[in-house]
Amino acid sequence: MMTRAFRQIRAVLMIAALATLAASPAWACYAIVVGREASSDGSVLLGHAEQNAGRRMLNFRRVSRQQHDARAQAALRRGGRMPEVRESWAFLWSELPGLEFSDNFLNEWGVAVVSDYCPSGEDDYAALVRRGEIREGGIGYMLRRSIAQRARSAREGVTLAGELVERFGYVDSGRTYVIADPREAWLLAVVRGRHWVARRVADDQVVVLPNVYVTDTVDLGDPKNCLGSADLVAYAVRRGWFHPEGTEAFRFDRAYGARREAADPRRWKGQQLAGGKNIPWPPASQPFGVKPAEKLTVAAVARILRGVIPASRGGAFATQEAAVFQLRAGLPREIGCIYWRTSGEPSLNVLLPWYLGIREMPANYYRAVDIREALTLDRHFRPPAETFVPDRRLAWWLQQSLQSLACEDLQGRLPAIRAAWDTLEKRAFENQAGVEKEALGRWRHEPDSACAFLTRYCAGLAADADREAARLMGVFQPGGASLHRLLQGRRMDPALDVGFDDAEGGLVPLDGHHQGVQHPLRREEVGGDPLGDDNRRSRHVERLRVESEVEEQFFRRARHAEEVAVHGDGLRVIDLDLCLCRGLRGRAGVAGGFDHELGPLCEAIGFDRRSAGGLAHRTPIVDGPLRDENGVQP
């Protein structure tokens, strides 16, 4: 007979396993898209959290227009080439060196591009190469940068991306790009190979995008609202993913997605926050978009991001940047389009505005390198080792240092941090109208003067944030502390061999996971797939061996090991702490996303989320089928 406590533990372990399977590689990246009639000021709003595992560093800089020779070719990562444009557009660029699918852009026309990983049911990379669905190595990283460099509207960006996917074939398992401008926003869902579909966000709705496809019904006969591959449905029929003789209409998410039925907890929570309604878990359905309870502001979108991604004590997937793109028509783009962003976890960092019209970024927002070199694929994918060495002279590392201190005593330090950042954000929001009035007045007579004014204003706020971060660090560590002391035990040896995978959660030495010694992590390449084989999945019941070691009072001094049968919707169970599911052996660690992601599920079954969080802190989840205890692949 199982005791009540043991039954509760088993239920939580089942929830953990189900949630792990229900997610994409982990709880990584999240977006909220607000149509212009659903916002308070008529702007299109795009909220996004960029989340990746491992040691990261973020450069945020402005790139001016670039001139190219008439015969110049743009290189793709795996050998393909395409003609360059004579002149590429300027853009604000958030770059995560080493990662293929994590950069974010806002170009001079007010076109914003972000993405979320969404696993598909398509075959692996090698199989699609053999079938001719991927040509010249395919396209991945350069897809979004090409949109930023070449598109003057969101629709033009969608069309361009679709053409590139059909020409080269997409390399990753699947992904949804959000492409927005001051008049409309689109969700572009791509699948490994040459199939894609884009759906326009209704002007009066809010769409929530976690790491699953959310595009459901499509109507390619309505090009105003839907675009896609001509054979989108026919291909699904040939693959056996859709049966037209059935009673259900074609749904892209169910035909092409790795997850075909399960509800998504983060989508559920985001739709509740946006719609202002209490939706029981599990929801009966999750519509593509919802109408908000009240029209949303930049601050409201930031609150949703912070509500879905609360302050973390450190764990698997950290947030390198949270952003809200405020895209307004009726104003000069330089004034009407703003890239609001944080330099880390949204709840632990301040949201600062960066107007599209700024002419340069503060020097401490990126590692200095010639822009021509910075734009090369070699520099992005093989950055110098010192790129990842903490340097508090850089704003991003300064905020990361504060964030690390906060996590040492989150309950005690978060209130002081939020009080400081809320004050600065309130000032930015309250001053916005006056700043823009001044900028508009200058714009009418001398646009360069307006841009110079906005550059000084944004840099001034950023400097205030730097000073406040330094002050808070002094409060938390009296007497001040050097960067070396703050990050002691977290430095990466510049001589350490660093390898990069083609995906979020790429292979870099991890820290902050209570590992005694850091080692370079091995790359496992399966079936010739350079992405580490997202598709090595079982369509049947998977066995997840969960070994639990928890607090004595909760387990009544007992230790249990359970094999939990989980009906996996085609996704491999991974270690949520290391979050390197793409063909790597995950080892025991902290499931950082457990508390805030599984909390709603625990509450739904009447289980104390605090106990669930404690359990997660000690629960290693091991992906047994990948390697045995000696690291040998069976």
Tens digits of residue pLDDT in 269-290: 999 999 998 999 999 889 999 9
Written as six digits, the tokens of 140 are: 């991945």
450 and 398 together in one domain: yes
Top-confidence residue, 578 or 134? 134
- Tell me the three state secondary structure of residue 184: coil
- 170 contact partners, CB below 8 Å, separation of at least 6: 134, 138, 139, 140, 143, 190, 191, 192, 193, 194, 196
The two beta strands, 195-200 and 226-228, are antiparallel
Given this model, what pLDDT does residue 616 score? 31
Written as six digits, the tokens of 375 are: 């734009």
What is the C-alpha separation between 589 and 578, in angstroms, rounded?
7
- Mean of the pLDDT values across residues 439-466? 97
Q: What is the pTM of this model?
A: 0.75
- Tell me the three state secondary structure of residue 485: helix
463 in any annotated domain: no
Res 64 pLDDT > 70: yes
Res 97 pLDDT > 70: yes
Given this model, what pLDDT does residue 359 score? 97
Given this model, what pLDDT does residue 347 score? 95
- 374 contact partners, CB below 8 Å, separation of at least 6: 59, 61, 95, 380
Nearest 5°: phi and psi at 323? -140, 150
- Tell me the three state secondary structure of residue 151: coil
Nearest 5°: phi and psi at 174? 180, 160
Residue 246: Cβ within 10 Å count: 8
Res 569 pLDDT > 50: no
Res 182 pLDDT > 60: yes
Structural domain containing residue 188: 27-457
357 and 326 together in one domain: yes
370 and 351 together in one domain: yes
Res 385 pLDDT > 70: yes
Q: How confident is the model at residue 177 (pLDDT cuts 50, 70, 90)?
A: very high
148 and 177 together in one domain: yes
What is the C-alpha separation between 329 and 337, in angstroms, rounded?
8
- Tell me the three state secondary structure of residue 93: strand
523 and 442 together in one domain: no
CATH of the domain at 231: 3.60.60.10
97 and 232 together in one domain: yes
148 and 224 together in one domain: yes
What is the C-alpha separation between 466 and 446, in angstroms, rounded?
31
Please say whether the beta carbons of 173 and 124 come within 8 A. Answer: no
Q: How confident is the model at residue 530 (pLDDT cuts 50, 70, 90)?
A: very low
What is the C-alpha separation between 141 and 199, in angstroms, rounded?
22
368 and 513 together in one domain: no
Rounded alpha-carbon distances, angstroms, from residue 446 to 191, 356, 443, 453, 524: 46, 16, 5, 11, 57
245 in any annotated domain: yes
What is the C-alpha separation between 511 and 387, in angstroms, rounded?
15
382 and 302 together in one domain: yes
Q: How confident is the model at residue 312 (pLDDT cuts 50, 70, 90)?
A: low
**Number of structural domains, the chain?**
2
- Percent of the chain clearing pLDDT 70 (strictly above): 70
429 in any annotated domain: yes
584 in any annotated domain: yes
357 in any annotated domain: yes
Q: Which of 141-150, 226-235, 533-542 has the lowest mean pLDDT?
A: 533-542
Domain boundary among 434, 457, 480: 457
230 and 102 together in one domain: yes
Res 250 pLDDT > 60: yes
Written as six digits, the tokens of 281 are: 């878990």
Q: Which of 35-44, 125-134, 305-314, 321-330 has the lowest mean pLDDT?
A: 305-314
Res 429 pLDDT > 90: yes
Question: What does the mean pLDDT of the chain come to?
Answer: 77
DSSP state of 120: B
- 138 contact partners, CB below 8 Å, separation of at least 6: 76, 78, 80, 125, 129, 168, 169, 170, 171
What is the C-alpha separation between 541 and 565, in angstroms, rounded?
7
Given this model, what pLDDT does residue 345 score? 94
- Mean of the pLDDT values across residues 90-96? 98
What is the C-alpha separation between 360 and 337, in angstroms, rounded?
16
368 and 450 together in one domain: yes
Rounded alpha-carbon distances, angstroms, from residue 567 to 20, 122, 131, 439, 574: 12, 20, 31, 57, 15
What is the C-alpha separation between 431 and 461, in angstroms, rounded?
11
478 in any annotated domain: no
Nearest 5°: phi and psi at 116? -130, 135
Given this model, what pLDDT does residue 514 score? 26
483 in any annotated domain: no
- Tell me the three state secondary structure of residue 91: strand
Give the containing element (helix H, strand E) for 288: none
Domain boundary among 457, 477, 498: 457
417 and 522 together in one domain: no
What is the C-alpha separation between 624 and 223, in angstroms, rounded?
46
Res 469 pLDDT > 80: yes
Given this model, what pLDDT does residue 53 score? 86
466 in any annotated domain: no
Given this model, what pLDDT does residue 317 score? 60
- Mean of the pLDDT values across residues 500-509? 30
Given this model, what pLDDT does residue 242 score? 96
Written as six digits, the tokens of 134 are: 């991927």
Written as six digits, the tokens of 234 are: 């026919």
Res 366 pLDDT > 60: yes
Given this model, what pLDDT does residue 6 score? 42
Q: Which of 137-146, 457-466, 558-567, 598-607 has the lowest mean pLDDT?
A: 558-567
- Mean of the pLDDT values across residues 600-619? 32
Res 598 pLDDT > 90: no
